[in-house]
Amino acid sequence: MSKIHALPLELLQNIFSFCLPTSKYKMFPKEAPLLLTHICRRWREVAFSTPQFWTHLHVFARFGTDDNLTKKDLISRYGEAIKVWLNRASGLPLSISFVTADSEECHEFERDDRLGSDPHILGIIASFSRTWFHLNLKVKYQQLTHFSHLTENDVPLLKTIEIESFGTRWPARKQPLPFLSAPSLKSVFFWNNWLLSELHPLPIRWGTLTTLSILSWHDMVTSLDLDMAVTLLSQCSNLVVCSLRIMSRLKYSSAWSDSAEPQFHPPPLQLYHLEELRVYPEHGPTSFLEHWTTFFEALQVPEIRHLEVTGCHDKVPQLPFMPIILRPHKIETMTLVAHGSKEDLIECLRATPLLRRLALSSQTCHHEFWTDDVANPSMDESLLHYLTASAPFDDEPQSDTLTLCPFLEEIEFIFPLNLAISVERIMPFLLSRTTLAPADVSRLRRAHLYLPLVESQDSVHDVLNSCTELGTALQAGLDLYMFYYPETKPKHCPQSSAVFPAERDFTISQPHDDWKPRSEIPHLRRW
C-alpha cells in the first residue's frame, strides 16, 4: 500500500485543502475539488466526505453542445450537477457566484439564452438560500426577478451580496429583492446597476453595513449623484470600507447645465468607523465642481487610514479632499490624481506625516480621452526634491528636519507626458530613501516610476548600474521598476482594470512605438 494511503484522514484532508482554488471554484474535472475524485477510490471518498471542499461554487452559464441531448436535457443535467455539488456541503455556509452567458465575461463564446436566462438554474441557486453566505451575481436585470420571492427569513446567514446587472431596466416595483434586508448582511457591492435608480426603496439595513461599494463605469443613470451619495452615507454610520463613483451633478438639477448655480448644503456625515475611502468623481458641468469640496467638508472620518480620490475631471481648481487631510486623521495609504497646484500637493503631503504608501498621477481623463493639459503643474521634478530625505524646503532653508512623509515605504508616480526628468535627478531621491536614508526615515521597499524617455536606454542603464549604493539597496530587497514611455499622447484613457507588472528587483521597461491598452498604459495602483 502506498504511504500516502496510510495517512490519517485529517492529515489527508489538510493536504487536499492546499489543492483547492484560491478564488473561483468551477465544475471542471481538471481542477480541485473534482480532480481529487478522479485519482483513486480512497481520494474520492475523502473528497466526498469533506463538506468544506464543496462550500464554494462558481456557476459559469455556458456549456458545450451534445448532438444526443436537447437543450432542456443539458440544462437539467447541469442543474442536477449544481445540486449534487452544493448538497455535499452538508448545510455549511455557501459562497456562490453566478455569471450569465450574456455577460461580457463570456463574450468570446456564443451568446444565446441556452442557460444564462433559464429560470431552472437560478431557481436551484435560490433553493439553497438558507445557507448563502456570500452571493455574487452577474446577470441581466430581468433575471433578478428569480430571487424576488425570497425574504430576509430565507437568508439568515447572508453576509455579502455583490450584484452586477445589465440589460433593460428593472420593472417597476415598490420593494425589489426583499431578501436584501438580511439580518446578517454586512457587505454590499453594486456594479453598473439599475438598482441604483431604486436605491432608497431598497430594504437594505444600511446602518449595519461595514462595507459598501457602488461603482458604475458606463452611464449617468446607474451612477450616484452628490445628493444620493449624501443621503446614503447619512444612513451608513458603521461603515469601515467605502467605494463610490459619483457624478458631478445634483438630483434635482439639470444634469449638464452651467446656467444656474445649484445649491448643495449636506449635513455632517459622521462616519467614525471608516478606515478606507475611495471616491471616483465623474465629469460634469463646471458649476458643480466646487461642491466636491463641500462634500468632503461634510465627511467626518477621524479613523481613516486609506484615501483614494482619482476623478476624471480636469478642471478641479484644487485638491477637494483637503478638508479631510487638514482634520485629525490616520492616513497611511493615499492614491491621488494630482489636480491643483504644486503648493496644494505639498501641503497635502505635509499634512499626512504617517503616510507609508503613496500613488500619484498627473494624468486626468475626460470623456474617455486624456486631456490636452497633461503637464499638470503639481507634479514635476521638484516633487522628488521635496521628498528627498533631509532636503530643506525652499521657504524654510534653515531647516533640515522637514522631510516629507518620513515613513514612506512604497511609491508609484506617473509623471506628465512632456516632463523632462533625467535619471540623475531621480538618483538622489532614491538613495536618500534607501541606502543613504537618515535613521529617522523609513527605507523604500517599492518604487514604481512612470515617465517619458528623455535619454537613451543605454545611458539610463549605465547610470543605474554604476551606482553601488543603489545596487546595495536592490540586494536588500528594493523593488524598483522604471517605465519609460514616448512623449506622445495615448489614444485612450487608462483602463482601471489593468494588471500591474509582476514584482521584480530591478527593471527598466523598453519604450514602445505606440500605446497599448490595459497592460501597458500606466495608471494608479489599487493598494
The total of structural domains in the chain comes to 1
Peptide bond preceding 33: is omega within 30 degrees of 0, i.e. cis? yes
251 against 428, higher pLDDT: 428
Mean pLDDT for all residues in the chain: 77
| Beta partners for residue 135, in sequence order | 96, 161
Grouping H, G, I as helix, E, B as strand and the rest as coil, residue 301 is coil
Helices 9-17 and 41-48: crossing angle, nearest 10°? Answer: 80
Q: Helices 423-432 and 468-475, interaxial angle, to 10°?
A: 50
Please say if the pLDDT value at position 434 is more than 70.
Answer: yes
Q: Grid coordinates in use for 220?
A: 449617468
Return the closest-CA partner of residue 293 out of 274, 309, 270: 309
d(CA 333, CA 358): 6
Q: At what angle do helices 119-127 and 71-87 cross, to 10 degrees?
A: 10
In a domain, 207, yes or no: no
Contact (CB, 8 A) for 26 and 16: no
Domain assignment of residue 196, yes or no: no
Residue 235 included in any domain: no
Q: Which of 167, 168, 79 is nearest to 127 (CA)?
A: 79
**Cβ contacts of 512 within 8 Å, gap of 6 or more:** 485, 486, 520
Helices (H), 209-355: 226-233, 290-298, 322-325, 342-350
pLDDT tens per residue, range 441-489:
999 999 998 877 666 666 667 777 777 888 888 888 899 888 876 654 4
Please give the grid coordinates belonging to residue 297: 467638508
Among the ranges given (110-119, 234-243, 348-357, 449-458), the one the predictor scored with the smallest mean pLDDT: 110-119
The residues with which 410 forms a beta bridge, in sequence order, are 357, 446
Q: Which of 9-13, 19-23, 84-88, 166-170 is predicted least confidently?
A: 166-170
Question: Which contacts of 406-409 are long-range, i.e. CB under 8 A and separated by 24 or more positions?
Answer: 406/353, 406/440, 406/441, 406/442, 407/332, 407/353, 407/354, 407/355, 407/356, 407/442, 408/355, 408/356, 408/357, 408/358, 408/433, 408/442, 408/444, 409/356, 409/357, 409/442, 409/443, 409/444, 409/445, 409/446
Q: Are residues 212 and 239 in contact, defined by beta-carbon separation less than 8 angstroms?
A: yes
Indicate whether 153 belongs to any domain.
no
pLDDT at 366: 40
Residue 460 lies inside a defined structural domain of this protein: yes
Identify the helix (H) or strand (E) that includes residue 151.
none
**Which domain, by its residues, includes 501?**
332-527
pLDDT > 90? residue 187: yes
- Alpha helices, DSSP H, located in 20-169: 41-48, 71-87, 119-127
Is residue 411 situated within a structural domain?
A: yes
Mean pLDDT of 350-360: 94
What pLDDT does 498 receive? 28
**Measuring CA to CA, how many Å separate 159 from each of 95, 215, 360?**
10, 20, 34
Is residue 509 included in any domain, yes or no?
Answer: yes
Residue 228 lies in a domain: no
User: Who wins on pLDDT, 73 or 429?
Assistant: 429
The x, y and z cell numbers of residue 236, run together, are 451608513
C-alpha 491/C-alpha 475 separation (Å) is 38
Residue labelled with grid coordinates 524598483? 480
How would you write 472-514 as a 3-class SS string?
HHHHCCCEEEEEEECCCCCCCCCCCCCCCCCCCCEEECCCCCC
User: Each residue of 279-300: pLDDT tens digit?
Assistant: 988 766 555 667 888 899 999 9
Strand 224-225 and strand 506-508: the pairing is unpaired
Q: What is the amino acid identity at position 56?
A: H
pLDDT confidence bin for 514, thresholds 50/70/90 = very low
Secondary structure (3-state) at 43 = helix
pLDDT band for 512, please (50, 70, 90 cuts).
Answer: very low
DSSP state of 393: B
Q: Are strands 369-370 and 299-300 parallel, antiparallel or unpaired?
A: unpaired
Q: How far apart are CA 115 and CA 72, in angstroms?
A: 9
Report the pLDDT value the prediction gives residue 504, as an integer from 0 to 100.
32
* 107: confidence class by pLDDT, cuts 50, 70, 90: very low
pLDDT score of 324: 92
